[in-house]
A and B are shown apart, each in its own frame.
Chain A
């Protein structure tokens, strides 16, 4: 993977262009939400980022299973890249969720099940990185990473369920009684278009960044190997 593939350059350009278009659409083309005003426009990217984050972690799980079955190093690189991309977009998701909540609920944090679960999932994959940090043997590092990526991902739906049931019984915490209602609003057809387009754009950006990260991982792997050979 020495020279940068032409397709990747195309993807880079495409990502930037699409992001610009999506931003314009979210800012100017989409109608203003009746109650919340302009901050609602962040919602399109907030959800898109959450989606890409989740996909990154899911990729890490799939790569993890593949690594456990085949032992091929490339799956470890893919898994780690998936986690890194996932963390970047999950971070965006959580912070924009908080920013969106602030003017609406007058608080930087609501114990909304989705926001809390997103944060916990973020912490799980930070823990994943810390686990890898603490292991020197590359083979073991890859195996343990794969295992924890799987364990972590499986725990997330259960976490979401438990918090959601908790909220249904305790609606008196900050926010509305409906646990699904963090800033609920009805989307007009135009809004829906921007929403799905943003989803698409962020997916493209995610794939682009993922590809770059995988190439980086591959390069790092080769450098490590050559260093090792040199020293032995």
Chain B
């Protein structure tokens, strides 16, 4: 898949698609490992949201079990916008996007690269939040089904979120615009993820949960496809 051509006097390297993809993902991860600004912001925000829910809802132990799925996904939804915003803003502010566009790389690799990077950030935050929530509320969250739902839900969220964030960041109203654009469109993910998470936590049989999982998978596939088809138009100049 990779071809290296040497023309007279210059070296023209055509990186493979996967290589470019990996490079973009790694660029974000490496930068983040050094500064940790996106990750720490998301994590602190998530914990604060959980704290607020604790006082806002003020439930006893039994009632709390019934809202766990909802509180978790509300937290992830809000914290997620932070990550998406920052991730795209960094791109724009540091002028990285222009650099990426000049590179001989298929546009969609930029989308997938950013999306995978965003997904990794989101999953890391979610993985850190889970044990903290478990400890604070004395509820076991390490149910394999729950982890699957978190993965599927985050994929859908990030697939649409990356696309919309790449547009929102180019508007004057960039910070408040992303949630306004994202939330109405991501509702199927939230509904399905909350219901499926709740069902797994309650230990319901799989045949009752499968409809929600199918909905999540369908959403993921549809919106990854749309984002792929449409991303060129976001970055064209």
Contacts and interface: CB of A to CB of B under 8 A. Distances in A.
A136 interface: yes
A147 B218 contact: no
Contact of B191 (A147, A154, A163): A163
Which interface class (under 10, 10 to 19, 20 to 34, 35 or more) fits A? 20 to 34
Given A127-B180, A143-B234, A146-B233, A155 B187 contact: yes
B172 A124 contact: no
B233 A162 contact: no
Contacts of B42: none
Contacts of A151: 160, 163-164, 185, 223, 226, 230
Interface in B42-96: none
A157 to B, nearest CB: 9
B167 A147 contact: yes
Nearest to B177: A134
B168 interface: yes
Interface in A140-195: 140, 143-144, 146-148, 150-152, 154-155, 158-159, 161-163, 165-166, 169
A21 interface: no
A224 to B, nearest CB: 18
A120 B167 contact: no
Contacts of A123: 184
A148 B167 CA distance: 9
Interface string B186-213: 1110011001000000000000000110
A124 B191 contact: no
Contacts of A136: 172
A130 B160 contact: no
Interface of B: 160, 163-164, 167-168, 170-174, 177, 180-181, 184-188, 191-192, 195, 211-212, 215, 218-219, 222-223, 226, 230, 233-234, 236
